[in-house]
Chain A
Amino acid sequence: MTNFAIVTIFTDMIKKYIPLISIVLLMAVAGCSAFSSAEKKAEYPQQPDDIRRNRAGSLLGSNNFKIFSSDKKESEPSEGTKSKEVIAVNAYLWRASLDTLSFMPLASADPLGGVIITDWYENPEVKGERFKVNVLISDKNLRSNAVTVSAFKQISTSGSWRDATVNEKVARDLENKILTRARELRLEKESK
Chain B
Amino acid sequence: METKMKKILLSTTAICLFSAGVAHADMQVISAGNGPVITVGGTADFQVGSGSQESLYKNQSSSGVADGSKTSIYSRELHTRTDTNIHLKVDGRADNGLGYGAYIELNADTNANDTTANNNSARRTYIYVESGFGRIETGATGDAGNALKVGAETLAHGTGGIAGDFYKYVDLANGGIANNAKYAILPGLPTAAGMPGEANVGYTAGFSGGAGTLKKDTHDDRANANKISYYTPRIDGLQAGVSFTPDQAEHGTANGFTSANGGASELGGGFPAFIDVWNGGVNYETRYNDIAISTAITGEYGDAKDSGTTSATIDGLEAYSFGLNLSYAGFTIGGSYADAPEFGLSKSYNSSMHYWTLGGAYEFGPLGTSITYLSSTVKHGSSASAPDASFQNVSFGADYKLAPGLLPYLEVSFFETDSGSSSSSTTVDNKGTIFIGGTQLNF
Assess whether A37 is in contact with B442, with CB atoms less than 8 Å apart: no
Report, as a range, how many residues of chain A touch the other chain: 35 or more
Cα A11 to Cα B148 with chains together (Å): 21
Which of A18-26, A146-154, A160-168, A180-188 interfaces with chain B? A18-26
Contact indicator A42/B130 (Cβ below 8 Å): yes
Flag if A28 contacts B35 (CB, 8 Å): no
CA distance A38 to B95 in the complex (A): 10
**A-chain residues with CB within 8 Å of residue B35 when the two chains form the complex:** 69-71
B residues less than 8 Å from A29 (CB atoms) = 20, 129-131, 133-136
Task: Tell which of A16, A51, A59 touches B442, judged by Cβ atoms closer than 8 Å.
Answer: A59
Q: For the complex, is A45 an interface residue (Cβ under 8 Å from B)?
A: yes
Contacting pair A65 B443 (CB below 8 A): yes
B contact residues around A52 at 8 Å (CB): 160
B107 to chain A, nearest CB (A): 12
Partner of B404, one of A38, A61, A74: A61
Interface of B is mostly: mixed
- In the complex, A11 Cα to B280 Cα: how many Å? 13
B203 at the interface (CB under 8 A from A): no
B403 to chain A, nearest CB (A): 8
Chain B proximity of A67: nearest CB distance (Å): 5
A56 vs B409: C-alpha distance in the bound complex, in angstroms?
11
Any A CB within 8 A of the CB of B41: yes
Q: Report B-chain residues with C-beta under 8 Å of the C-beta of A44.
A: 130, 135, 231, 233, 239
Within 8 A of A (CB), among B110-129: 129
Give B357-372 interface residues, CB cut-off 8 Å to A: 368
Judge whether B21 is part of the interface by a CB distance below 8 angstroms: yes
Q: Quick one: which of B5, B141, B163 contacts A48, CB cutoff 8 A?
A: B163
- Please name all residues of chain A whose beta carbon is closer than 8 Å to the beta carbon of B131 when the two chains form the complex: 29-30, 32-33, 36
9-residue interface stretch from B9-17, B73-81, B379-387, B426-434: B9-17
Contacts of A56 in B (CB 8 A): 399, 401, 405-407, 440-442
B236 at the interface (CB under 8 A from A): no
Q: Contacting A53 at CB < 8 Å: which of B37, B43, B95, B239?
A: B43
Q: What is the distance, in angstroms, from A6's C-beta to the closest C-beta of chain B?
A: 12
Contact B134 A28 (CB under 8 A): yes
A7 on interface, CB distance cutoff 8 Å: yes
The interface residues of chain A lying within 8 Å CB-to-CB of B13 are: 22, 26
The number of residues on chain B lying at the interface, defined by a beta carbon within 8 Å of a beta carbon of chain A, is: 75
Q: Quick check: B37 and A74 within 8 Å, CB to CB?
A: yes
- Asked whether any CB of chain B lies closer than 8 Å to the CB of A189, the reply is no
A-contact bits for B17-52, CB 8 A (1 contact / 0 none): 101110110000000111111111101000000000
Q: Does B228 contact A (CB under 8 A)?
A: yes
Q: Output the least CB separation between B122 and chain A (Å).
A: 15
Residue with the greatest number of chain B CB neighbours at <10 A, chosen from A49, A56, A57: A56
**Which A residues are CB-close (under 8 A) to B37?**
66, 68-71, 74
Q: By the criterion CB–CB under 8 Å, are B41 and A45 in contact? A: no
Digit string of B389-421 for contact with A (CB within 8 Å is 1, else 0)? 000000000010101111100000000000000
The answer to whether B38 touches A69 (Cβ under 8 A) is yes
Q: Are A7 and B318 in contact, CB atoms less than 8 angstroms apart?
A: yes
Chain A residues lying within 8 Å of B442, measured Cβ to Cβ, are: 53-54, 56-59
Given the complex, which residues of B lie within 8 Å of A32, measured CB to CB?
Answer: 131-133
Q: For B272, what are the chain A residues with a Cβ–Cβ distance below 8 Å?
A: none
Smallest distance from the beta carbon of A127 to chain B beta carbons, Å? 56
Contact partner, A45, options B147, B153, B405, Cβ 8 Å: B147
Question: Could you say which of B57-65, B96-104, B171-179, B305-313 contacts chain A?
Answer: B96-104
Q: Which of B144-179 contact A (CB under 8 A)?
A: 144, 146-148, 153-154, 160, 163
Say how far B170's CB is from chain A's closest CB, in angstroms: 21
Least CB separation from B90: chain A residue = A68
Indicate if A46 sits at the interface (CB-CB under 8 A).
yes
Q: Is the CB of B132 within 8 A of A39?
A: yes
Known contacts A47-B141, A59-B405: A72-B32 contact under CB 8 Å = yes
A13 contacts partner chain B, Cβ-Cβ < 8 Å: no
Task: Closest B residue to A38 by CB, please name it.
Answer: B97
Is there a chain B Cβ closer than 8 Å to A55's Cβ? yes
Shortest Cβ gap from A118 to chain B (Å): 37
| Cβ contact of A37, chosen from B97, B283, B318, B440, cutoff 8 A | B97
A54 to B443, CA, bound (A): 10
| A27–B16 CB distance below 8 A | yes
Q: How many Å lie between the Cα of A33 and that of B405 in the bound state?
A: 34
**Pair A58/B405 contact, Cβ less than 8 Å:** yes
Q: Is B278 an interface position by the 8 A CB rule?
A: yes
A60 on interface, CB distance cutoff 8 Å: yes
Provided the pairs A22-B12, A59-B404 are in contact, do residues A71 and B146 lie with their beta carbons within 8 angstroms?
Answer: no
Evaluate whether A66 and B39 lie within 8 angstroms (CB atoms) in the complex, with A11-B278, A36-B133, A58-B443 already known.
Answer: yes
A43 within 8 A of B: yes
B32 and A42 form a contact (CB under 8 A): no
Q: How far is the CA of A51 from the CA of B25 in the complex (A)?
A: 33
Residues of B319-366 whose CB lies within 8 A of A: 341
Chain A interface residues toward B at CB < 8 A: 4, 7, 11, 14-16, 18-19, 22-23, 25-39, 41-49, 51-61, 64-74
Give 11 CB contacts A-B under 8 Å.
Answer: A7-B301, A7-B318, A26-B17, A29-B129, A30-B20, A45-B144, A56-B440, A57-B407, A59-B403, A61-B404, A66-B37
The 3 closest A-B pairs by CB, nearest first: A36-B132, A30-B20, A70-B35
List 9 additional A-B contacts (Cβ < 8 Å) besides A22-B13, A33-B96, A66-B38: A18-B5, A19-B5, A26-B20, A30-B98, A30-B129, A42-B134, A59-B403, A59-B406, A72-B33
